[in-house]
Amino acid sequence: MTLDSLDPVLEDDLDVTAAHRPLALSLLALALGGFGIGTTEFATMGVLPDIASGVHVSIPTAGHLISAYALGVVVGAPLLAVATAKLPRKLVLLLLMVAFALGNLGSTVAPGYHSLLLARFASGLPHGAYFGIAAVVAASLVPVSRRGWSVSMVMTGLTIANLAGVPLSTLLGQHLGWRAAFAVVAGIGVLTVAAIAYAVPPVPVVDGASPARELTALRSPQVLLTLLTGSVGFGGFFAVYSYITPTLTKVTGYEEAAVPVVLALFGLGMTLGNLAGGRLADWSVDRTVALGLVAFIVALLVFTQAAHYVVPAALDVVLIGGIGSATIPALQMRLMDVAGDDAQALAAASNHSALNIANALGAWLGGVVIAAGHGYTAPAVVGAGLAVLGLAVHGGAVLVGRRAAV
């Protein structure tokens, strides 16, 4: 990930000269934290059998480690955003990444299953708060017309983690032991602390900021409806992703050795979609969410047929990853907009709680229809239905907002 790759058309309207390089370095430092978080979130899945063997539990029991991390995200995002409301934003980012590094160090040295379970929960606590506050900081560094792009730059670290970080950490874990994967992530956390300390400028707290003011976000119907849009609408993304490996091997006919290549394509789609999503969010937040969900419905329904053919399946995987990722910056921006200055940190952080609820919901419903005998393409149908519900919620939110503005 280089400075020049931060935005393929950056030089059109923000020339990366010496004068602008501090902005690029700031966004790169924030994206590095996203890279570490994205790597640890999904790397567990890649070395799950090794972890199960290492701590002497079954693979299904080891799968609870993934749930523990997700629970940490859901709990930690709102709690930490509220608890740190009065602290300078840069200091909060540093503290969150220190906690992230320590959580992954704990995962590296955990002597048994239960201590590892606790360490994974602790590793997830800073996740949502970091992305939320990093989004607020990134948006504050650019003109209003560039906020969507700046937020997407922070999220680029997460998408590149799926493209490169997860496959590499999985490979490392398979050859040097699963603890090595978490040790590398802890090192990325330490590197991010140094990068933020050096490159990110101080960002003042809004006058009068307090936990009570942040909590006002939870009284806003627009905030709650937007969170519900993400919680439901993105369930389809995870319904498909959670079962992508058995779908590709049992339905499409891929050899197991080819699956990582398709997953890398999924990560490529996420990266490209995220970059496009930032631009689209600057064009129109509400239209981007609506169009993204419509396109998502189509891509998921197409997957029920494309999954039976090698090339179409790979192409649709790219589309699903790209469309899902393109919509996230717009959701993030909508939450920040409807929360206002009083509660931006809590609203932005809660977006990642919502997405992890979508993760749990999509994976659970996908498993239900597979267990019922409907096959591995059935989760895509469930996912399309969830996206329809998310679209309905978003449409209701826009309508309520317009009526309130009259």
Region of residue 185 (phi > 0: left; psi between -120 and 50: alpha; otherwise: beta): alpha
Neighbour tally for 68: CB within 10 Å? 19
Q: Which residues contact 192 (CB under 8 A, 6 or more apart)?
A: 29, 32, 33, 36, 97, 100, 101
Q: How far apart are CA 11 and CA 155, in angstroms?
A: 20
* E strand or H helix at 377: none
Distance of CA 254 to the CA centre of its chain: 27
Do the domains 216-406 and 1-205 match in fold? yes
Boundaries of every domain in the chain: 1-205, 216-406
pLDDT tens across the length of the chain (406 residues): 444 444 444 434 433 433 345 888 889 999 999 999 988 877 776 677 788 888 888 866 777 787 788 888 888 888 888 888 888 889 999 999 999 999 999 999 999 999 999 999 999 999 988 988 898 888 888 887 787 788 888 888 887 887 777 777 777 777 888 898 899 999 999 999 999 999 988 877 766 555 666 666 667 788 889 999 999 998 888 888 777 878 888 899 988 778 778 878 888 888 888 888 888 888 888 999 999 999 999 999 999 999 999 999 999 999 998 998 889 888 888 887 887 766 667 777 788 888 888 877 887 888 888 888 898 899 899 999 999 999 999 999 999 888 776 5
- Residue 130 has what pLDDT? 92
Q: Which amino acid is at 6?
A: L
pLDDT value of position 212: 60
CB 317 within 8 A of CB 244: yes
- Residue 386's pLDDT is 94
Query: How far is the C-alpha of 319 from the C-alpha of 265, rounded, in Å?
Result: 10
CATH superfamily placement of domain 216-406: MFS general substrate transporter like domains (1.20.1250.20)
Class of domain 1-205: mainly alpha
pLDDT, position 18: 33
